[in-house]
């Protein structure tokens, strides 16, 4: 670039990797960062909650790591195997691979539009994935971490396949609700260990299909045997990586699993009766191999192996990232519903192989992002999905900014059109956009775009006077001290993956710039009466913009590109202190607007978007006949434009009615329990507490003996319920 006068210093500029020169590889003896986001399931179109929960958050941290000039690899791809894909392909009359390819392209386009910077965006239906998954399975088998178990499963006679929980529905054995799901009744809240507990189970895909119950044998991973090694690793990793508590790990590093009942982890089936998946490899045990013939590996076993397998499609030196625990830090990003698989199942798998895997350093999970006053729903057209965002005409930077400003880090948050518009107009435009435009425009107009200041200035860290001798020196000292304090907070927040606060601090840096211009009264009078002071203010402001270009790079890369164009400067690395790096005599580019105002006269634009993306929720109470709980799928849904309703009031009324029905059903179900059931439930709860207290050292006793009592009581309750169910069916 011509006309540049930028300070020359090692590490000042960002090292931008050139893919033509080969893959990004870790460097021995240095910090290297490996980043993954939970693999999005292939046949779901990601909504904004999915995007902020994993892929966008991981992208921000990857971009931040690159601003530190740390070797960084960001890996993701579509998770393609499993029951849902096989069934969906059957419905559409295509092969599972054809279905996955179609949706993989859709995901690719969405993430490209959102400017996600994957080093490799791949998929799990590859030979590399099969080879690595099968090797992990064989290593676990060799080390004695599998056992076979046989259990009854629901089977569709018409499609000749076993049905996963999600594809079975029937009558709840407790409250009689006829549309209970295979794992839970939405009316009374009862959960089932198997859909075989339902009365009159039926295939959800086709209710005319005949469903029967058949036994099937599966390989179960011995999480019970792996738990001591897992907990030993976890206690060390959570301290080193500074984990916070989350959906699975308490602040003491204890595993929280509701189904454990004080027993610890239990063997978990990792094979399924499907065709679409990684085939279970032959182990050399003839009896076992025969039992596993025709089965595939469970999708939640193979999905996290997608991280190393996708890396293997990026470079044949993938083990330098994935089997290099001394030199590589692994950061993983996901929604809270995926935490169990990444802190318990996946680490147990890796530990059980006995191989030197790169293990989790830090996990960053989010709560849920809701849409307005409800949840995102593709089936009901509620909310903005990844492929809809561009329909608003707002650029990716604005979407990224707003989603990250609402990142649900500690509690659920909501996407609101009113705050989306306010974020653009009152924050991006009025704060960041105003500061950059005002400074660059002034230099363009008054200095012919040449940065003013003392000739021959070497630049470097700005060291303010310790005892400022003039009001101007005091303003500069306060400005630099404030910027340095905020910069320290920014780095700390980002290092701890507190991205929402990192963005807030970046915006406060920009606001401090606006305050600095105000404090110094930057205008034509300052230029005319105090030209040297005016030059110093502009020199500081230009270099604050250069700093802002790197603090905003993780969040809004296109906005950073706009700043760098106006500065006529290359991308810089993140400093630890405010410094003068764009020197006097440097030629700026022309001022341009970073953001455009969203016109919203009398809330017109807000209402238009609410209507466009409100879907069936706007008219759910107008459906005739209504479905269960007022769900609009029960009848014909009128067009939103033809119905005048108070959306929020209708939704709240509907939610209140559903809650009332659930409370009544739960009360009725409790009333219908036999005295024997209630007594056994009470004993089981008490026994579970005894086991837990003994294991924690709060109470003395033999944990194994008390655990055996708990298991015996559970078996008695299961047998009692089985007899009661048989009796009700015969009646």
Look at residue 148 and give its three-state secondary structure: strand
CA distance 237 to 249: 12
With 0-12 / 13-18 / 19 or more C-beta atoms within 10 angstroms meaning exposed / middle / buried, residue 389 is buried
DSSP label at 193? S
State how far the Cα of 404 lies from the Cα of 503, in Å rounded to an integer: 8
pLDDT for residue 303 is more than 80: yes
Contact indicator for 223, 348 with CB cutoff of 8 Å? yes
Please state, as a whole number, how many other Cβ atoms lie within 10 Å of the Cβ of residue 637: 18
Name the burial class of residue 726, with classes exposed (0-12), middle (13-18) and buried (19+) by CB atoms within 10 angstroms of its CB. Answer: exposed
Q: What angle do CA 504, 506, 510 make, to 5 degrees?
A: 110
d(CA 139, CA 301): 14
Two structure tokens written together for 142:
């060799």
User: What average pLDDT does the segment 344-366 reach?
Assistant: 96
Radius of gyration in angstroms for the set of CA atoms belonging to the chain, rounded to a whole number = 30
Instruction: Report how far residue 69's alpha carbon sits from residue 31's, in angstroms, rounded to the nearest whole number.
Output: 10
Residue 731 is predicted with a pLDDT of 46
DSSP string spanning 79-90?
B--SHHHHHHHH
Residues facing residue 366 across a β-bridge:
335
User: Confidence band (pLDDT; 50, 70, 90) for 689?
Assistant: confident
Q: Is residue 610 within 8 Å of 525, Cβ to Cβ?
A: no
Residue 415 has pLDDT above 70, yes or no: yes
Highest-confidence segment of 151-155, 176-180, 435-439: 435-439
What average pLDDT does the structure give for the chain?
Answer: 88
State the pLDDT at residue 624: 38
Is the pLDDT higher at 60 or at 384? 60
Kindly indicate the confidence band of residue 626, based on its pLDDT and cuts at 50, 70 and 90: very low
**Rounded mean pLDDT, 234-256:** 81
- Encode pLDDT of 212-223 as tens digits: 989 999 999 999
Q: Which two tokens stand for residue 140?
A: 């676990």
Q: Are 5 and 566 in contact (CB under 8 A)?
A: no
Is residue 389 over pLDDT 80?
A: yes
Lowest mean pLDDT among 293-302, 379-388, 692-701, 721-730: 721-730
CB burial of residue 293 (10 Å; 0-12, 13-18, 19+) = exposed
Predicted local distance difference test score (pLDDT) of residue 139: 98
Q: State mean pLDDT over 12-21.
A: 95
Residue 87 has pLDDT above 70, yes or no: yes
| CATH class of the structural domain 430-587 | mainly alpha
- Give 313-343 pLDDT, tens digit per residue: 999 999 999 999 999 999 999 998 888 899 9
Q: What is the pLDDT of residue 628?
A: 31
Q: Which residue has the higher pLDDT, 492 or 337?
A: 492
The per-residue DSSP string of 406-471 comes to T--SSS-EEE-HHHHHHIIIIIIIIIIIHHHHHHHHHHHHHSTTBPPS-TT---EE----SS-SSH
Q: Return the exposure string of 327-347: e unless at least 16 CB atoms fall within 10 Å of the residue's CB, then b.
A: bbbbbbbbbbebbbbbbbbbb
Confidence of residue 632 (pLDDT cuts 50, 70, 90): very low
Widest distance between CA atoms in the chain: 99
Instruction: Quote the pTM value.
Output: 0.82
**How sure is the predictor about 605, in pLDDT bands with cuts at 50, 70 and 90?**
very high
- Pairing between β-strand 180-181 and β-strand 168-171 as defined by DSSP bridges: antiparallel
Identify the pLDDT of residue 718. Answer: 78
* Helix locations, 166-305, DSSP H: 223-240, 286-291, 299-302
Reduced DSSP (H G I as helix, E B as strand, rest coil) percent helix, strand, coil of the chain, to 5: 50, 15, 35
- Domain extent listing, the chain: 430-587, 675-730
| Tokens read off for 19 | 């893919």
The answer to whether the CB of 304 falls within 8 A of the CB of 341 is yes
**For residue 204, what pLDDT is reported?**
81
Quote the pLDDT of residue 138.
Answer: 98
692 has pLDDT over 80: no
Share of the chain above pLDDT 70, in %: 89
How far is the first Cα of the chain from the last one, in angstroms, to the nearest whole number?
A: 86
- Residue 657's pLDDT band (boundaries 50, 70, 90)? low
Residue 597 confidence (pLDDT) above 80: yes
| Residues linked to residue 76 through DSSP beta bridges, in sequence order | 121
**At CB < 8 A and 24+ separation, what contacts does 604-612 make?**
605/417, 605/421, 606/417, 606/418, 606/421, 609/392, 609/417, 610/372, 610/417, 610/647, 611/640, 611/641, 612/391
| DSSP secondary structure, 120-139, as one string | EEEES-SHHHHHHHHHHHHH
**To which residue do tokens 């000749």 refer?**
160
Contact 637, 616 (CB under 8 A): yes
Reported confidence tier of residue 660, pLDDT bands at 50, 70, 90: low
Greater model confidence, 139 or 257: 139
From 44-48, 87-91, 133-137, 162-166, the region with the lowest mean pLDDT: 162-166
CA distance 623 to 631: 8
């Amino acid at each position: 670039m011509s006309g540049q006068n930028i300070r020359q210093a090692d590490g000042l500029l960002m090292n931008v990797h050139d893919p033509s020169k080969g893959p990004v590889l870790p460097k021995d003896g240095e910090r290297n960062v490996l980043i993954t986001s939970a693999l999005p399931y292939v046949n779901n179109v990601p909504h904004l909650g999915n995007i902020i929960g994993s892929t966008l958050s991981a992208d921000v941290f990857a971009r931040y790591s690159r601003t530190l000039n740390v070797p960084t690899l960001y890996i993701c791809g579509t998770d393609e195997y499993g029951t849902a894909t096989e069934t969906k392909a059957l419905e559409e009359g295509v092969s599972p691979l054809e279905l996955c390819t179609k949706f993989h392209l859709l995901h690719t386009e969405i993430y490209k539009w959102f400017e996600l910077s994957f080093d490799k965006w791949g998929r799990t239906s590859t030979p590399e994935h099969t080879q690595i998954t099968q090797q992990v399975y064989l290593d676990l088998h060799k080390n004695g971490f599998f056992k076979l178990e046989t259990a009854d499963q629901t089977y569709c006679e018409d499609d000749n396949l076993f049905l996963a929980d999600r594809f079975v529905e029937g009558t709840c054995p407790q409250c009689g609700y006829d549309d209970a799901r295979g794992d839970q009744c939405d009316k009374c809240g009862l959960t089932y260990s198997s859909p075989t507990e339902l009365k009159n189970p039926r295939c959800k895909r086709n209710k005319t299909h005949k469903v029967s119950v058949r036994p099937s044998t599966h390989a179960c991973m011995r999480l019970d045997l792996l738990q001591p090694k897992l907990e030993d690793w976890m206690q060390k990793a959570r301290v080193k990586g500074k984990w916070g508590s989350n959906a699975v790990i308490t602040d003491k590093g204890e595993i929280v699993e509701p189904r454990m009942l004080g027993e610890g982890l239990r063997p978990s089936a990792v094979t399924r009766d499907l065709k679409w998946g990684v085939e279970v490899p032959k182990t050399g045990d003839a009896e076992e191999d025969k039992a596993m013939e025709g089965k595939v590996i469970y999708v939640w076993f193979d999905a996290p192996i997608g991280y190393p397998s996708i890396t293997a499609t990026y470079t044949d030196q993938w083990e330098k990232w994935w089997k290099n625990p001394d030199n590589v830090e692994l950061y993983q990003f996901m929604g809270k519903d995926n935490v169990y698989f990444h802190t318990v199942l996946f680490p147990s798998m890796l530990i059980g192989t006995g191989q030197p895997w790169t293990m989790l350093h830090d996990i960053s999970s989010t709560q849920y992002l809701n849409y307005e006053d409800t949840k995102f729903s593709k089936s009901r057209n509620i909310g903005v999905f990844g492929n809809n965002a561009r329909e608003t005409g707002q650029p990716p930077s604005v979407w990224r900014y707003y989603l990250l400003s609402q990142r649900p880090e500690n509690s659920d948050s909501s996407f609101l059109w009113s705050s989306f518009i306010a974020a653009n107009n009152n924050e991006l435009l009025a704060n960041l956009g105003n500061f950059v435009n005002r400074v660059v425009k002034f230099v363009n107009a008054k200095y012919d775009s040449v940065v003013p200041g003392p000739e021959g200035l070497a630049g470097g860290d700005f060291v303010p006077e310790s005892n400022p001798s003039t009001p101007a020196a005091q303003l500069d000292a306060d400005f630099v001290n404030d910027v340095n304090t905020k910069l320290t907070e920014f780095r700390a927040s980002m290092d701890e993956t507190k991205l929402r606060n990192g963005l807030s601090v970046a915006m406060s840096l920009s606001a401090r710039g606006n305050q600095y211009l105000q404090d110094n009264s930057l205008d034509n009078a300052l230029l005319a009466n105090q030209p040297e002071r005016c030059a110093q203010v502009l020199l500081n402001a230009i270099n604050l913009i250069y700093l802002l270009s790197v603090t905003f790079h993780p969040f809004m890369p296109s906005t950073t590109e706009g700043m760098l164009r106006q500065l006529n400067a290359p991308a810089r690395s993140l400093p630890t202190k405010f410094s003068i790096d764009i020197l006097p005599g440097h030629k700026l580019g022309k001022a341009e607007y970073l953001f455009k105002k969203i016109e919203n006269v009398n809330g017109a634009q807000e209402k238009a978007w609410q209507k466009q993306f409100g879907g069936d929720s706007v008219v759910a109470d107008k459906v005739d006949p209504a479905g269960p709980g007022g769900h609009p799928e029960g009848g014909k849904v009128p067009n939103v434009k033809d119905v005048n309703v108070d959306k929020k009031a209708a939704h709240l009324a509907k939610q209140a009615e559903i809650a009332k029905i659930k409370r009544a059903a739960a009360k009725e179900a409790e009333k219908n329990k036999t005295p024997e059931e209630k007594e056994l439930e009470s004993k089981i709860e008490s026994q579970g507490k005894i086991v837990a207290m003994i294991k924690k050292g709060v109470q003395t006793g033999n944990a194994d003996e008390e655990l055996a009592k708990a298991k015996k009581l559970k078996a008695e309750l299961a047998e009692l319920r089985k007899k009661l169910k048989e009796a009700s069916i015969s009646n």
